[in-house]
Structure 1
Amino acid sequence: MDRRSFLKNSALGGTAAAATTLAAPAYAQGKRKLTMVTSWPRGFAGLADAADKTAENINAISDGMLEVEVKHSGELVGAFESFDAVSSGQADMYHAADYYFVNQHPAFAFFTGVPFGMTAQELNNWYYHGGGMERHHELGEIFGLKSFLAGNTGSQAGGWFRKEINGPEDLQGLKFRMPGLGGKALGYLGVSVQNLPGGEIYQALASGAIDGTEWVGPWSDEKVGFQEITKFYYTAGFHEPAAGLSVAVNLDVFNDLTPAQQKAIEISAGHANVWNLAQYLMNNADALKRLSAGGVKILEFPDSVWDAFGEASGKVYEEFMGDDLFKSIHDDYFASMATSSEWIAQSSVAYRAQRDRVRG
């Protein structure tokens, strides 16, 4: 039984709870120090920056009443251990990509990126004006978390390969690093999918433990140094047309904060979300030019591969449709995407095509 069902069906969640609603909530007084664990090695371009920016914002907005200490991957817990650390109360909050935790619940993927899903703008539309934030809270609270978007990488690249991918058959047997539902889709195409944390990818690719990897995009990928190992780079991927990053606070800790402190976390996360997206979009183009000048072959997947990605992605969604919460969030997500996409196509997409034509 999940947290919400227990509270709803127990005496504590019913009559007893009602009897206490007239009393003012008791909040912890004085300064609070919160420990944030992350899924990123310290100094990782963009990703660690988003975590640090979120903490910096909270410290400033709360006027010193909250002090967030950031412990990056490996400094307190491992990259994929952050969820359990915060859910259990070992740490107060985490910064991560929630699709790392699809084994907890597959619907966490919708708050990072899903195959053939939302762009960054579409994700923000849903999150802030289409009920997405409320769905994030609903899902997180089952596991004792209060979750907010706190970063976005924008569209992620298709990845680095040791050879060109000319058809779906070239994917068969590849050992490829990709987390989330995109990784599950590759599994349907005969790929041996690996889910490695960021700090382990370079060595795995260099040693031949994996044949290829996706990471983020030109700027982050260049910083890691994948171009030192392989020269085949696909710039558009099906798996994460936007990659939201999340901050999640242990729910008991969050509820113990004052309303002003809670709002400081929400607003800090929202600012980091927009700030981080702009950071990536400002840096990716120049990084791609440098990669190309250094001998990297910039490629796009052929239509046959995109079609295979689409078919496999459909199988992944069907795999989880028996879960009511997954189906509900899936339906909300894609309904919002359709609404946003319709207007964007008729406005900004059409404008950009004409702008580029007129300006040459």
Structure 2
Amino acid sequence: MHRRLFAAAAAAPLSVAGGLAAPALAQSLPEIRWRLTSSFPRTLDITYSTSEYMCRAVSDITDGRFRIQPFPSGELVPGLQAMDAVQSGSVEMAHTGGLFFTGKNAALAFSTTVPFMLNVRQQHAWFFHGGGNEMLNAVYRDFNIHALPCGNTGNQMGGWFRKEIRTAEDLRGLKFRVAGLAGNVMQKVGVVPQQIAPGDIYPALERGTIDGVEYIGPYDDAKLGFNKVARYYYYPGWGEGGAIFHAYVNLQKFQELPPAYRAAIETACTAATNWMLAQYDWKNVEAMYRLVAEGVQLRQFPNEVIDTLYRATQEVFAEQSAANPQFKAILESQTAFRDRHFAYHQVSDYAFDSMMLRLRRQQGR
């Protein structure tokens, strides 16, 4: 299946670049074996299997001459050391998220998501057609990395709490697992943010080391067992309108690849991005129904809480922009893109969704 799916996509750059028939060109290409470390454990089957999907696709496109072996978090390096491993060249690739590494450069947050910014559709448009990939790879070059979008979780949830959040004051003092710039924002409103790798979150929540957690959404959150410890599940995911994961490639190794193999990775990563998003859109629905049936209390953040977090976000953006020209440039690009595109989405997707919700209410569904 993969060979049929990807061969057509790979054929065009091969024929243009080399002017040869694909079989003759394939015979001249070297056999290459790489390793990929993931920031995700096997138990998170969608995120981890996205890297497996991408690696299989690369092998299929190249008739097995270029093979990448994926490893889950912890087998080669801990999940939050994936970027360091690729930068140093101890592994050729990683599958991870830039928001894990904002301590290195806050601009890396944009490669996954930042609060109150782009939804999934806008992300894909900005990354692939709005100059996003180019702007972010200018940042990644400082770390000897070439980054390719490789997965999107879709809009995420706001997180799990042991108690109800009625006002912004209820957030004060909570120890909360959160990644990326959302942690900086929550710190401004009195939260104590905790950066914890996915596989280590549940033990911390169970032991009471943290009071709450934001991870992805119903399917993964249920697999990690958060509902066994925390009762209240909040939405919307103000911090992550959509979260893009990336394939990190050691820049030197990427540049040394034959053009056909670079094209194979790019094609496979693009397909994997769509595959992951479809998986979450399919599985989150049933997972949410199960969680509610089991007694989880689904709650919407009060407007006062959202407004407080939004104001704190603008403060964080201003501080980071003043300190980091790369952050400022990417923020300005995303903001301009978002604001212009909302006018269109208001008369397209938003209008359609609002129409369908109204009709369903009329039908009592």
Matched position secondary structure for 2:347: helix
Runs of 4+ in 1 over 6 A off after TM superposition: none
Displacement of 1:324: 1.1
Q: How does 1:313-332 map to 2 (within 5 A)?
A: 313-322=313-322, 323-332=324-333
C-alpha separation in 2, matches of 1:73 and 1:33: 20
Contact residue 43 and residue 223 of structure 2 kept, 8 A? no
Displacement of 1:280: 0.5
Q: Which residue of 2 aligns with 1:348?
A: 349
Matched position secondary structure for 1:150: strand
1:143 aligned to 2:151?
Answer: no
1:302 aligned to 2:309?
Answer: no
1:271 aligned to 2:271?
Answer: yes
Contact residue 29 and residue 65 of structure 2 kept, 8 A? no
Contact residue 204 and residue 210 of structure 2 kept, 8 A? yes
Give, as a single letter, the amino acid of the residue that structure 2 aligns with 1:258: P
C-alpha separation in 1, matches of 2:165 and 2:356: 33
Q: Which residue of 2 aligns with 1:64?
A: 64
Matched position secondary structure for 2:348: helix
C-alpha separation in 2, matches of 1:212 and 1:352: 31
Contact residue 58 and residue 66 of structure 2 kept, 8 A? yes
Give, as a single letter, the amino acid of the residue that structure 2 aligns with 1:328: A
Displacement of 1:259: 0.6
Displacement of 1:136: 2.2
Q: Which residue of 2 aligns with 1:240?
A: 240
Q: Which residue of 2 aligns with 1:334?
A: 335
Contact residue 38 and residue 95 of structure 1 kept, 8 A? yes
What TM-score do the two structures reach when normalised by structure 2? 0.89
Displacement of 1:186: 0.3
1:224 aligned to 2:199?
Answer: no
C-alpha separation in 2, matches of 1:342 and 1:205: 41
Displacement of 1:235: 2.8
Cα-to-partner distance string for 1:32-63 (whole Å, 9 max, x where unaligned): 11110110012313211222212121121122
C-alpha separation in 2, matches of 1:285 and 1:73: 27
C-alpha separation in 1, matches of 2:251 and 2:230: 44
Cα-to-partner distance string for 1:242-287 (whole Å, 9 max, x where unaligned): 1100001001100110111001111111111111011101111111
Matched position secondary structure for 1:321: helix
Sequence identity of aligned pairs in percent? 36
Displacement of 1:183: 0.7
C-alpha separation in 2, matches of 1:358 and 1:103: 47
Q: Which residue of 2 aligns with 1:183?
A: 183
What TM-score do the two structures reach when normalised by structure 1? 0.90
Matched position secondary structure for 1:311: helix
1:253 aligned to 2:253?
Answer: yes
Matched position secondary structure for 2:262: helix
Measured on the aligned residues, the alpha-carbon RMSD in Å equals: 1.2
Matched position secondary structure for 1:46: helix
C-alpha separation in 1, matches of 2:171 and 2:298: 18
Cα-to-partner distance string for 1:283-322 (whole Å, 9 max, x where unaligned): 1111111000000000011011001110111111112112
C-alpha separation in 2, matches of 1:206 and 1:168: 24
Displacement of 1:352: 2.2
Q: How does 1:148-227 map to 2 (within 5 A)?
A: 148-227=148-227
- Give structure 2 stretches of 5+ with no counterpart: 1-27
Q: Paired residues, what number?
A: 333
Matched position secondary structure for 1:187: helix
Give, as a single letter, the amino acid of the residue that structure 2 aligns with 1:45: D
C-alpha separation in 2, matches of 1:341 and 1:66: 42
